[in-house]
Structure 1
Amino acid sequence: MQSTFPRLLLDHARQRPAAPALREKEYGIWQTIDWQSLAKMVEQVACGLHQAGLRRGEHLVVIGANRPRLYATMLAAQSIGAIPVPLYQDAVAAECVFPINNAEVRFAVVEDQEQVDKMLEIRTQCPQLQYIYFDDPRGLRNYTVEGLGSVDELIAAGGVFAQQHPQFFHAEAEQAQPGDVAAMFFTSGTTGNPKGVVHTHRSLIDRAEAGAEFDRLTHTEDVLAYLPPAWIGQNIFSYAQWLVCGYVVNCPESVATVGIDLKEIGPTYYFAPPRVFEGMLTSVMIRMEDASRLKRRMFHHFMTVARRVGPALMDGKSVGLADRLSYALGDWLVYGPLRNNLGFSRVRVAYTAGEAIGPDLFTFYRSIGVNLKQLYGSTETAVFVCLQPDHEARADTVGVPCKGVEIKLSDSGEILVKSPGLLKEYYKNPKATEEVLSADGWYHTSDAGFIDSHGHLKIIDRVKDVGRIQGGVHDGAMFAPKYVENKLKFFPHIKEAVAYGDGRDQVCVMLNIDFDAVGNWAERRNLPYAGYTDLAGKSEVYDLICECVEKVNADLSEDAMLAGSQISRFLVLHKELDADDGELTRTNKVRRGFIAEKYQPLIDALYGGKSEQFIETVVKFEDGRSGRVSATLRIMDARTFAPVKAAA
């Protein structure tokens, strides 16, 4: 019989009571919680929540960063049959209203004052939200609000209840069945209200076990939990697999200290979306540009060796003795110190997912000895659908179907998945459930792709986004916007891209520069600038970005299917796309339709042949205030290339 999360916790507490379960950095010092202490904390929180009125089948929202007591709260809720619903800690208050009302939430356990303020702000819109408990008391001493209390108070009350009813917790935990609902995760809501994805203990644990078996994970792993717990990727890696394997999850002190904490922990099992790996590489290249000439020459020399030899060594292939010796010297002088500086000195398995990763970026990490691989999955599939085996990691695929997964393609090229990890349903949304889950158990991913000759899955784009060019020299050619956008974002100077072209005679793109990378580039050329908007509009920056765009076009011209997706015109936006402004989802995916409406004058100018266009935009600041930013944006033509005919 398959287990449940509370049973897994109790098994670890019984079998390995003194082994570390969680670490949290507080005031610069790592504090360790062992499995026995964690089980006791979970019991106290569970009893406290029960005493406060939380009942089996009810939902409880958890909002905050990765914190031991928030993890304990999720386990506590599951132990008494309630359903934890993690929400994004960086979501504005209004974004929390729909999930809380949709799930009829009465209880919220949050991290700190910021999250308490959000809950209090929306209480009039969520009248059923009765109880709010906070983990960090700083700034909350003088709050006198009905239903507001601390996790400390909850634990104290639960401790008294547990003493009076010593069998209660274990009896409740034993009632849980693998088929019971374990958690609910809300989707990004790119096209409307988010949907609550309902997962059972069985679906989450099965996929956690499949991933652990695939990569031979054990209780000896160290993981750094730094991404939002509301994102199922982080939840699987630092919650489901943590409880399945019994390894140590480390919680950083804050967002600002993640880089330092990563180096201190040196995780053995690591996960990050491509943007994190991009940011790391950008910072490395910026530092190298500021290094001495000797260090720069040494770095570039050995990186040339690494690109030639490293991936082959990582794939278990044989290389010549001279290359092997050169690589060993490079490892001593460059790659080893670089891995250590990045925090990857102990990484055995590293994964990236969520978006396509650039071939150069992917090759860079593998060439310096980091076993970086790709996986494919979604909230609805409990993440693990396809994984890349060791020695078979390639930038243009997402791996092979993992244990228990079947894949087939529909007539339209959509990827269909059958897996033990599929969602039970979308909460209170049977119509949406029917749209994605067929009667015979196939899940419609909405992704277009195919299985290559090696049995690896390749993703092209979202099915609904794949379009056709109409008119012009490429009339009828396929247009895959995400594919184009990802190619652009492979360049360190480009942070974000939004491509348009479906039903039009050419492809046009709006871009964001990477302010740090381009700012460093400008400073080294003594190019003055007064902030993002000023820098983004510089003619020198446009020339730099145009080089990147034309390199993408040259690359696309060699792809028989996508040669028509070459970019004819582009502009650099005057502000960074932001989730708070509705332009990105909380997982940093572009909301292409929303952006098209918001920036309609810019799209009209791109397709109308204009050389510039004035735009004024409302922006939301971090403190909640609104303001306006305006600029006259330059529009630039890019060189396109004739499609390269394949050799006969």
Structure 2
Amino acid sequence: MENPGIKNKDHLLSLTIPQLLRWRVIHSGDKVALREKEFGYWRCYTWKQYYEYVRNTGLGLKKCGFARGDTVALIGDNIPELPFVAIGAQSVGGISAGIYQTTMPDEIAQLLAYMKVSMVFCNDQEQVDKIVEIRDRVPLVKKVIYEDPRGMRDYAADDWFMDIEDVYRLGAAAHEERPEDFEGLVDAGKPDDVCHLCLTSGTTGLSKGTMLTHKNYINMGLQLAEADPLADTDEYLSFLPFAWIGEQMNSFGVAMATGITINFPESVETAMEDLKEIGPHFMFGAPRIYETIRSQIWLKIDESYWLNQKLYRYFIKIGEKAAKFRMSGERMPFSLKIKAWVGYQLMFRPLINQIGLLRLRRAYTGGAALGPELFTFYQAIGVNLKQIYGQTEIVGIAYMHRDGDVRPDTVGKPLPGTQCKISPEGEILSKSDSVTPGYLNLPEKSAELLEGGWLHSGDAGYIDDNGHLVVIDRLADVMHNQEGEMFSPMFLENKLKFSPYIKEAVIFGDRQAYVSALINIDPIVVGKWAEDRGISYTTYMDLSAKPEVADLVYGQVAEINQKAEKPHFRIKRFAVLYKLLDMDDGELTKTGKIRRQFVSEKYKNLYEALYDEGLSEKEVEALFQYQDGQTATVKTKLSFYTMEGV
């Protein structure tokens, strides 16, 4: 599968993102570049139209006072206007920056001040209202541009606000007056110019602005396509938050480098339904996405006839055996190959077609580790799921499984052009053309990050005998028990989360006599389980406190303990938490990672109770924070359970 972008690799690396967009227009101007679902209808933008919108946006921003070196912040759901504004700003020498749409006003104010943002683009009134709330704290912001005019009537008389359509009109008029100006602005860009600020996940405090260059993004896209070829006819669904590097690397890097089509769903809520209509050829998602899809599959099977359930259980075992051969690239026995084919045609093909993954050639997961069992499950049903590993500071991907060499306990081998080594302390170090020049206005942090010319990941790991990278955990998160034996809390948490009944888990046990856990049940799967057994409940808190649910979780923990590789990996005490861990409460990052230190401090009383073996119940006050900032306190009793034989 030959892609014109890969054939011109050296040339593309000498371009900026706007220059590469122009190159795409020359080579495939009439091909669909973007597609957006709006009011049930898919609207298409060709590469030529894409470039025109970028041009009008860039010149329009310039007319509004946006200057070279200025920064525009993007806050909103995934819509074509996000790349229009981002690349438009980059075209005139500016910098774009993504902020998660779930970010609260106080944090937005801090981020806008830190990044010295001069303009903000919001997709709707909800996001605009957040900026209005902090207006007196962001004096550098000259304009707030919005895409959806609904609810904006009260702001119409204030020229601080501006409809994106008016920006387009200003830009179109400027281009008509001086048609040569825009090309000159685009030509002035250099591949090593900083084009975007990508915020880190903020596990230890306010996010840092990672400076990324045009070359950083384009190099990553080209290297990924070299390892896993993509055709310019391939489809991709953009449903991950644009502020996350996982989405940017596809929208900026992969799409520009390979010419694939980016599809924007109608809304976050309809993304999975829209995925069925698109039938993407490749997709990328955080582990939570694949865990959710796995739960949906489990529910479909659970709701089907007894014969379907029996066939599923039989063929999933066949599929798992076949998957081990496919993942290793070994020749599969003929009899197993026939059985696996029958299972795929009879059970799994219709199943993955219902989800929208039938045309999928490759699926990637990253951002956090995914349990080996979940990998094997997807490979067993015919979804070619592979692990990638990287970080914001290297444009998301630096290591990846190759087809026929998927080892569930590793993250694969380095991408072409990426070097890897392990420091004497066990830290993973990387080097490539995708590595950031540093953090915005944080020279000391940047020096630590890039000490010795290598990107310091902060993760512990090693390279196995097959040349694959094995990630153990964050260096700061690796734990040791009372006897000094090392274990990874993330590894055990992933083991727990493979259970369809468990949504999230937090492992404790550093310098303690045993391992313990706080567990979140999956409200959908466990709710269905409870309904099938006639167990009534009202809220998540009520469901989580049911003794029958505790017995269910006990069985899941016991099963994991039975498979534990070492005795000190076994979980001795656990409690089912009365609320779901939530990013609005500061317990999870915007990408769904546990903020371990914050959680440990917030639930210190529960942590202490887990290590008081004489305590089986404790009254606690549950504090809830809602999206509008209001809080509520509810008193409840939490039970603690001790596993037998541990």
Partner of 2:133: 121
Partner of 1:634: 639
Q: Is 1:112 matched with 2:124?
A: yes
Partner of 1:644: none
Q: Is 1:583 matched with 2:614?
A: no
Cα distance between partner residues in 2 of 1:192 and 1:42 = 34
Q: Is 1:5 matched with 2:17?
A: yes
Q: 2:162 aligns with which of 145, 149, 154?
A: 149
Compared CA separation, residues 315 and 504, structure 1 to 2 (3 A): closer
Q: CA deviation at 1:143?
A: 2.1
Cα distance between partner residues in 2 of 1:480 and 1:432 = 26
Q: 2:109 aligns with which of 59, 79, 97?
A: 97
Paired AA for residue 105 in structure 1: V
Cα distance between partner residues in 1 of 2:198 and 2:645 = 43
Paired AA for residue 340 in structure 2: Y
Q: Is 1:537 matched with 2:576?
A: no
Matched residue SS, 1:270: strand
Q: Is 1:564 matched with 2:576?
A: no
Partner of 2:273: 260
Q: Deviations over 1:227-283 (max 9, x none)?
A: 001000111022211011111000000111111111100000111112111111111
Paired residues in the alignment total 632
Please tell me whether the aligned partners of residues 26 and 253 of structure 1 are also in contact (alpha carbons under 8 angstroms).
Answer: yes
Q: 2:415 aligns with which of 377, 402, 413?
A: 402
Please tell me whether the aligned partners of residues 365 and 388 of structure 2 are also in contact (alpha carbons under 8 angstroms).
Answer: yes
Q: Deviations over 1:33-59 (max 9, x none)?
A: 001111111111111000001111111
Please tell me whether the aligned partners of residues 314 and 367 of structure 1 are also in contact (alpha carbons under 8 angstroms).
Answer: no
Q: 1:550 aligns with which of 558, 564, 567?
A: 558
Q: 2:508 aligns with which of 481, 497, 500?
A: 500
Matched residue SS, 2:155: coil
Partner of 1:645: none
Q: CA deviation at 1:4?
A: 0.8
Cα distance between partner residues in 2 of 1:555 and 1:460 = 18
Please tell me whether the aligned partners of residues 29 and 46 of structure 2 are also in contact (alpha carbons under 8 angstroms).
Answer: yes
Q: CA deviation at 1:633?
A: 0.1
Q: CA deviation at 1:346?
A: 0.6
Partner of 2:7: none
Q: Deviations over 1:335-366 (max 9, x none)?
A: 21112111111111111111221222111111
Compared CA separation, residues 502 and 313, structure 1 to 2 (3 A): closer
Compared CA separation, residues 169 and 547, structure 1 to 2 (3 A): same
Please tell me whether the aligned partners of residues 25 and 51 of structure 2 are also in contact (alpha carbons under 8 angstroms).
Answer: yes
* Higher deviation after alignment, 308-317 or 446-455: 308-317
Q: CA deviation at 1:103?
A: 1.1
Partner of 1:158: 171
Paired AA for residue 34 in structure 1: T
* Higher deviation after alignment, 198-207 or 613-622: 613-622
Matched residue SS, 1:608: coil
Paired AA for residue 53 in structure 1: G
Partner of 1:220: 233
Please tell me whether the aligned partners of residues 312 and 318 of structure 1 are also in contact (alpha carbons under 8 angstroms).
Answer: yes
Q: Is 1:489 matched with 2:491?
A: no
Q: Is 1:457 matched with 2:469?
A: yes
Q: Deviations over 1:520-551 (max 9, x none)?
A: 11111111111100110111111111122222
Matched residue SS, 1:374: strand
Cα distance between partner residues in 1 of 2:271 and 2:224 = 25
Q: CA deviation at 1:640?
A: 4.9
Cα distance between partner residues in 1 of 2:594 and 2:607 = 16
Q: 1:593 aligns with which of 597, 611, 616?
A: 597
Matched residue SS, 2:640: strand
Q: CA deviation at 1:315?
A: 4.8
Cα distance between partner residues in 1 of 2:345 and 2:484 = 53
Paired AA for residue 60 in structure 1: V
Q: Is 1:23 matched with 2:27?
A: no
Q: CA deviation at 1:566?
A: 2.2
Compared CA separation, residues 634 and 319, structure 1 to 2 (3 A): same
Cα distance between partner residues in 1 of 2:590 and 2:522 = 19
Compared CA separation, residues 313 and 588, structure 1 to 2 (3 A): closer
Please tell me whether the aligned partners of residues 425 and 433 of structure 1 are also in contact (alpha carbons under 8 angstroms).
Answer: yes
Cα distance between partner residues in 1 of 2:430 and 2:322 = 36
Cα distance between partner residues in 1 of 2:645 and 2:78 = 47
Please tell me whether the aligned partners of residues 71 and 95 of structure 2 are also in contact (alpha carbons under 8 angstroms).
Answer: yes
Q: Is 1:197 matched with 2:210?
A: yes
Q: Is 1:75 matched with 2:75?
A: no
Q: 1:49 aligns with which of 61, 76, 90?
A: 61
Matched residue SS, 2:309: helix
Matched residue SS, 1:124: helix
Q: Is 1:231 matched with 2:244?
A: yes
Percentage identity across paired residues of the two chains: 38
Please tell me whether the aligned partners of residues 550 and 640 of structure 1 are also in contact (alpha carbons under 8 angstroms).
Answer: no
Q: 2:386 aligns with which of 373, 376, 383?
A: 373
Q: CA deviation at 1:328?
A: 2.3
Q: Deviations over 1:291-330 (max 9, x none)?
A: 1112222222222222222442465433333332222222
Q: 2:318 aligns with which of 286, 305, 317?
A: 305
Cα distance between partner residues in 1 of 2:262 and 2:609 = 50
Cα distance between partner residues in 1 of 2:142 and 2:403 = 50
Cα distance between partner residues in 1 of 2:410 and 2:645 = 27
Partner of 2:290: 277
Paired AA for residue 363 in structure 2: A
Please tell me whether the aligned partners of residues 6 and 79 of structure 1 are also in contact (alpha carbons under 8 angstroms).
Answer: yes
Partner of 1:391: 404
Cα distance between partner residues in 2 of 1:584 and 1:387 = 25
Q: CA deviation at 1:109?
A: 0.9
Cα distance between partner residues in 1 of 2:65 and 2:632 = 43
Partner of 2:460: 448
Matched residue SS, 2:137: coil
Please tell me whether the aligned partners of residues 478 and 565 of structure 1 are also in contact (alpha carbons under 8 angstroms).
Answer: no
Q: TM-score, normalised by structure 1?
A: 0.95
Q: TM-score, normalised by structure 2?
A: 0.96
Paired AA for residue 188 in structure 1: S
Q: Deviations over 1:596-622 (max 9, x none)?
A: 211121112112231111111321223
Cα distance between partner residues in 1 of 2:309 and 2:611 = 43
Please tell me whether the aligned partners of residues 99 and 186 of structure 1 are also in contact (alpha carbons under 8 angstroms).
Answer: no
Q: Deviations over 1:80-116 (max 9, x none)?
A: 0100001101112222122100111110011111111
Cα distance between partner residues in 2 of 1:65 and 1:182 = 21
Paired AA for residue 552 in structure 1: I
* Higher deviation after alignment, 289-298 or 253-262: 289-298
Partner of 1:606: 610
Q: Is 1:240 matched with 2:265?
A: no
Paired AA for residue 41 in structure 1: Y
Cα distance between partner residues in 1 of 2:327 and 2:468 = 18
Partner of 1:646: none
Partner of 1:174: 187
Cα distance between partner residues in 2 of 1:362 and 1:300 = 17
Q: Deviations over 1:203-247 (max 9, x none)?
A: 121111111111012212100000001000111022211011111
Cα distance between partner residues in 1 of 2:445 and 2:101 = 26
Cα distance between partner residues in 1 of 2:333 and 2:401 = 26
Compared CA separation, residues 458 and 316, structure 1 to 2 (3 A): closer
Q: 2:302 aligns with which of 289, 294, 314?
A: 289
